[in-house]
Amino acid sequence: MQEIKKSLRDSKSARWLMLILVSFTMMCMYYLTDAMAPLQERLQGALSWSASDYGFFTSGYGWFNVFLLMLVFSGMILDKMGVRFTGILAIGIMLIGATIKYWAISGHVTGMYELHIGSWQVLESSRKSAVVAGFGFAIFGVGCEMFGIAANKAVVRWFRGKEMALAIGLNTSTGRIGTALAMFTPIPLVKMTGDISAPVILSIFLLCLGLLVFILFTFMDRKLDKEDADSGMAADEEFKFKDILEIGRNRAFWYITILCVLFYSAVFPFIKYATNMIVQKFEITDTFAGYIPALLPFGALLLTPVFGTLFDKKGKGATIMIVGSILLVCVHLLFSIPSLNSLPIAIGLVILLGIAFSMVPAAMWPSIAKIIPESKLGTAYAMTFWVQNWGLMGVPLLIGIVLDKYCITGTINKLVDGKEQVITQYNYMIPMLIFAFFGFLAIGFAILLRNEDRKMGYGLEKPNIKE
């Protein structure tokens, strides 16, 4: 009796090992994404930044991805050159950006900077260190988003027809362990070394480690390519420009994409400001305050298997996104109430946000793979990430400007690491209401997506695992 030959993707241990390798690299890259978030107050004191400077620096993540369409080009590179080449290229770009960011934050850049286009003042007396750090963050953002879409396509390639939602969810949430580490390790690092750029140095080391781990993945993936070729499995079609038009005509794709930018605009920018908000509203030290936002990705890691398995076995993807968006609104509305300033309430709300953070991505990313052919998936993910980057770029800048213009309640003299600094005090009610508004809009688009799925039969409410 002839034995049926199985590929690597049919081996449970092989595909889960592949997921571990890719997810570890994701974790390394996400550390730098949020490593400066707990240091907002210290950056403003040590480098004389305003909240607008900090918001400008944070918004740098999306500059090139949005305005130079680098994410769209990243999708084209991914669909033409494959996951292995794209992943290694992305890590190299991240290392360049991280090095520039270190140079700016470590005190090598001083002075003020203004940017004019004609008579229009685009940038008003910002610190040069914030501008250069933002430039480095922008280069890093190109590589980070490029690797993100490559990782998603790799997981879909290895897990299609199997535990796809669980795998994508675990890949995303395991990567967010890097975010959790970035919430509570930077301040101890700075205190231990006396150097505010120490977390960036650690980030560069982690990226180098991630590169080595990803190279191990490329050997496995190359072997899978050979198996597919030997078995006569058709290779992916090469990218064509008309793919963008075909994807753009899909209404469900736009509902998911807009839901994505709204949801993430209420989560990631919140993380950037969460430590400072918790310090000022709940009157605790910034060292301890960083631990509270760190609960969010850890909670997502624990709960993602639950919602990923639910989507894989039972379906209900669009419904999961609706419920997650409702939780998002509840969290930010409660954070906006000034009288709710009890520390246990802050911890409970962050845990609730972690539940929402595990629900929506676990259903959202596999849903794109259900409505877009695999040959166009890299471009589809790139288009989604491009729209998402408008939010990741614009919302932190918006929050910084709002804080400076409408939310300052005074200043205090505070001893930070043995040095007295003038610390600006803020009321975060308006930023929390802005985040809640994004959540309300996300609910609407999640409902539109579920209605579109009923019309077109994409199967978003059906299980992923095929018997």
**161 compared with 151, residue with greater pLDDT:** 151
| Element at 417 (helix H, strand E) | none
User: Which contacts (CB < 8 Å, 24+ apart) does range 352-356 have?
Assistant: 352/327, 353/267, 353/270, 353/296, 353/327, 353/328, 354/295, 354/296, 354/297, 354/298, 354/299, 354/300, 354/303, 355/299, 355/300, 355/303, 355/324, 355/327, 356/324, 356/325, 356/327, 356/328, 356/331
What residue type is assigned to position 260 of the chain?
C
Task: Please check the confidence at residue 229 and state whether its pLDDT lies above 90.
Answer: no
Residues 218-231, mean pLDDT to the nearest whole number: 80
| Element at 423 (helix H, strand E) | strand 419-426
Q: What SS3 state is found at 4?
A: coil
Enumerate residues 6+ apart whose C-beta is below 8 A from 77.
85, 86, 89, 146
Mean of pLDDT over the chain: 85
For residue range 368-390, list pLDDT tens digits in order: 988 988 778 878 888 898 899 89
- Does residue 6 lie within any of the structural domains? no
Task: Please check the confidence at residue 137 and state whether its pLDDT lies above 80.
Answer: yes
The count of structural domains within the chain is 1
Q: How far apart are CA 18 and CA 158, in angstroms?
A: 8
Enumerate residues 6+ apart whose C-beta is below 8 A from 345.
334
- Does residue 377 lie within any of the structural domains? yes
Q: What SS3 state is found at 411?
A: strand
Residue with the two structure tokens 């203004």: 114
Structure tokens at 437: 């508004």
pTM of the model: 0.79
Nearest 5°: the CA angle 243, 88, 224 is 70
The residue range of the domain holding 85 is 12-218+237-456
Percent of the chain with pLDDT over 70: 90
- Does residue 225 lie within any of the structural domains? no
Structure tokens at 448: 């539109």
Look up the CATH number of the domain holding residue 412. 1.20.1250.20
For residue range 68-90, list pLDDT tens digits in order: 888 888 888 888 888 999 999 99
Task: Please check the confidence at residue 144 and state whether its pLDDT lies above 70.
Answer: yes
Percent of the chain with pLDDT over 90: 38
3-state helix, strand, coil in the chain (%, to 5): 75, 5, 15
| Element at 408 (helix H, strand E) | strand 408-416
Q: How far apart are the first and last CA of the chain?
A: 24
- Does residue 32 lie within any of the structural domains? yes
- Does residue 370 lie within any of the structural domains? yes
Which residues, listed in sequence order, are joined to residue 411 by a DSSP beta bridge? 424
Q: Where are the alpha helices (DSSP H) in 35-175?
A: 40-46, 51-59, 63-67, 70-81, 83-103, 128-159, 164-175
Residue with the two structure tokens 């799925």: 453
Residue with the two structure tokens 């308006």: 430
Q: What SS3 state is found at 415?
A: strand
Structure tokens at 354: 């972690």
For residue range 291-332, list pLDDT tens digits in order: 788 787 777 777 777 887 888 888 888 999 999 999 999 999
DSSP 106: I
Task: Please check the confidence at residue 467 and state whether its pLDDT lies above 60.
Answer: no
Residue with the two structure tokens 């305050």: 289
What residue type is assigned to position 356 of the chain?
A
- Does residue 230 lie within any of the structural domains? no
- Does residue 197 lie within any of the structural domains? yes
CB of 296 closer than 8 Å to CB of 346? no
| Among 297, 269, 306, 293, residue whose Cα is nearest residue 398 | 269
Which residues, listed in sequence order, are joined to residue 115 by a DSSP beta bridge? 123
- Does residue 242 lie within any of the structural domains? yes
